[in-house]
Amino acid sequence: MKDGVNGVALAVFIFFFLAVTAMGFLAARWRKAEHDSLDEWGLGGRSFGTWVTWFLLGGDLYTAYTFVAVPAAIYAAGAAGFFAVPYTILVYPLIFTFLPRLWSVSHKHGYVTTSDFVRGRFGSKGLSLAVAVTGILATMPYIALQLVGIQAVLDVMGVGGGENTNWFVKDLPLLIAFGVLAAYTYSSGLRAPALIAFVKDTLIYIVIAVAIIYIPIKLGGFDDIFAKAGEAFSQTNPATGKPRGALAPAEPGQWTYATLALGSALALFMYPHSITATLSSRSREVIRRNTTILPLYSLMLGLLALLGFMAIAAGVKVTNGQLAIPQLFEDMFPSWFAGVAFAAIGIGALVPAAIMSIAAANLFTRNIYKDFIKPDATPAQETKVSKLVSLLVKVGALVFVLTMDKTVAINFQLLGGIWILQTFPSLVGGLFTRWFHRWALLAGWAVGMVYGTFAAYGVASPTQAHFGGSSKEIPGIGEIGYIGLTAFVLNVVVAVVLTFVLKAAKAPEGIDQTKPEDYTADAGDPGVQVELPAATAGTSH
């Protein structure tokens, strides 16, 4: 690690940061309508086409944490960290089946969040509240990890001082970055990350293309890289008494690897920020086209993961695995290009953090504030509340980062993945059938949440922080794989059994506000208008 501040890299980083800041504020005027509503501020007017949506979803899903943590997992544990690649391959055929249906029904009824749909489909504010709270809880640590990504880059550049520096001085650059993010998100809403995503994704593709060619040349080729990585993984980890990792998952861990990939694929588009970016599209065909071209990011992710092996071969030594890839860039690239790489990671944090805070704020506004606090809120009042809550969400994430150990943030994010998966039966199940009873879905959600939380508790270890909460062995049953998937299975079983019981008991079912044709209509179909659910009657979008 180089001593002092890398002035050239810092200058390049600041240049790009200022450029995207200007774009963030200018985005307020981009395709802006006259009226003020959540459709405009929180969904960009539902007007984005194929390429804007592609960049927005890419910027939303492939975050700074992805850039830092996936190769860091490879650096720490070997090929087990590659689970992120197959799960992103699995996810796109999956979302092709249900996202267009969600877009159509949301466009028809003016739904802004998944909880809006659940309330309209099942006529249950309680179930809607459960989905909203789960979404907010799962999103908060995810935002915090974007700030961790920025902090890792600043640490490697030498900005902010050492461990003994005054806390305010040390964290001042992060505070400035947070302040700028909060300001342009408040001003421009979803349009800001949509515009900035073009810069972010372009930089990331350039950095990975250069890294995958330039670094192996400097290290003697991939043969040497894999040989050195294999040698390093064969060494015994003092903490566990077992090999540090492997170039391929060992047979005992293959079931965990497979279930982790499948569970993660099921969970990815349950996150509120994924749905927010989806609903901002102008037609269901935009969504369908995006499911066919988004796998390009999976190719990028596979190449990105290889950086973990390169960090080992380059002799990178860090106590915090999150610093491995920024340190690799610092060591291997000329200072000016290291600055470009750091800017890609930094901007890669700003885009998803903005979308996540908007998504969490929309959930609070539509499904807590409007449903339970002020049912007669006007669109302008909704927007004002959502803007304020988006600031509070980012403040909470910042406090999390500044006051808690980073591994805690990682483990909470992993726990968030277990939680958000429990909304799958209500959302995806509801898109295809009205058979489930609302109370049964709520009970299944509660069982999955409780089991997942308790099963994950205490599983994380310092040697496998990235996989904390991933798997657990139950005595007498053996390795059962990803806890989130097990909790999901319990969730579905409870929902199915209780639905039979409640239907037999003729328990009252909520009113379904949707019709079968609502799930297949496109924006251009004649007669399709944006309506409001009964709970929002009297307001306009």
335-369 tens-digit pLDDT: 899 889 888 888 888 888 888 899 999 999 999 99
Give the tens place of pLDDT for each residue, 501-540: 999 998 998 898 999 998 987 754 433 333 333 333 333 3
Q: Are 104 and 276 in contact (CB under 8 A)?
A: no
**Res 158: pLDDT:** 75
pLDDT > 60? residue 395: yes
Residue 462 or residue 245, greater confidence: 245
pLDDT > 70? residue 160: no
Residue identified by tokens 């609302």 is: 438
For 517, what's the count of Cα atoms within 13 Å in the CB-facing half-sphere?
A: 6
Residues 6+ apart with CB under 8 A from 23: 192, 195, 196, 199
Helices (H), 220-250: 222-233
Q: Are 127 and 314 in contact (CB under 8 A)?
A: no
Residue identified by tokens 């060992």 is: 250
**Res 345: pLDDT:** 86
* pLDDT level of residue 104 (50, 70, 90 thresholds): very high
Rounded CA separation 179/185 (Å): 10
Q: Tell me which residue of 312, 287, 341 sits closest to 64, measured CA to CA.
A: 341
Instruction: Please state, for a pLDDT cut of 70, what percent of the chain lies above it.
Output: 83
In terms of phi and psi (left: phi > 0; alpha: psi -120 to 50; beta: otherwise), the region of 461 is: beta
3-state secondary structure of 504: helix
Indicate the fold that domain 7-221+251-428 takes in CATH.
Sodium/glucose cotransporter (1.20.1730)
**Res 19: pLDDT:** 87
Beta bridge partners of 243: 236
Q: Are 156 and 1 in contact (CB under 8 A)?
A: yes
**Res 460: pLDDT:** 47
Q: What are the φ and ψ backbone dihedral angles of 237, each rounded to 5 degrees? A: -85, 120
**DSSP secondary structure letter of residue 366:** I
Q: Are 310 and 304 in contact (CB under 8 A)?
A: no
How large is the average pLDDT for residues 43-70?
A: 79
* pLDDT level of residue 467 (50, 70, 90 thresholds): very low
**DSSP secondary structure letter of residue 437:** -
Q: Which two tokens mark 485?
A: 């998937």
3-state secondary structure of 319: coil
pLDDT > 70? residue 47: yes
Q: What are the φ and ψ backbone dihedral angles of 146, each rounded to 5 degrees? A: -65, -40
Rounded CA separation 74/411 (Å): 17
Cα–Cα distance list, 418 to 354, 423, 449, 470 (Å): 23, 10, 8, 9
3-state secondary structure of 472: strand
Q: Which two tokens mark 38?
A: 């959540």
Residue 55 CA, distance from chain mean position: 15
Dihedral sign of CA atoms 413, 414, 418, 421 in order: positive
Burial class (CB in 10 A: 0-12, 13-18, 19+), 66: buried
pLDDT > 70? residue 269: yes
Q: DSSP E strands: which ranges in 201-354?
A: 236-237, 242-243
Dihedral sign of CA atoms 34, 37, 43, 47 in order: negative
Give the tens place of pLDDT for each residue, 57-92: 887 777 777 777 788 888 887 777 788 888 888 888
Dihedral sign of CA atoms 109, 113, 114, 119 in order: negative
**Res 245: pLDDT:** 67
Q: What is the pTM of this model?
A: 0.86
**Res 473: pLDDT:** 35
How large is the average pLDDT for residues 6-13?
A: 85
Give the tens place of pLDDT for each residue, 221-234: 989 988 888 888 87
In terms of phi and psi (left: phi > 0; alpha: psi -120 to 50; beta: otherwise), the region of 427 is: alpha
Q: DSSP E strands: which ranges in 475-527?
A: 478-482
Rounded CA separation 174/401 (Å): 10
Rounded CA separation 131/424 (Å): 9
Mean pLDDT of the chain: 81
Q: Tell me which residue of 220, 349, 312, 267 sits closest to 87, measured CA to CA.
A: 267
Tally DSSP H helices, then E strands, for the chain: 21, 4
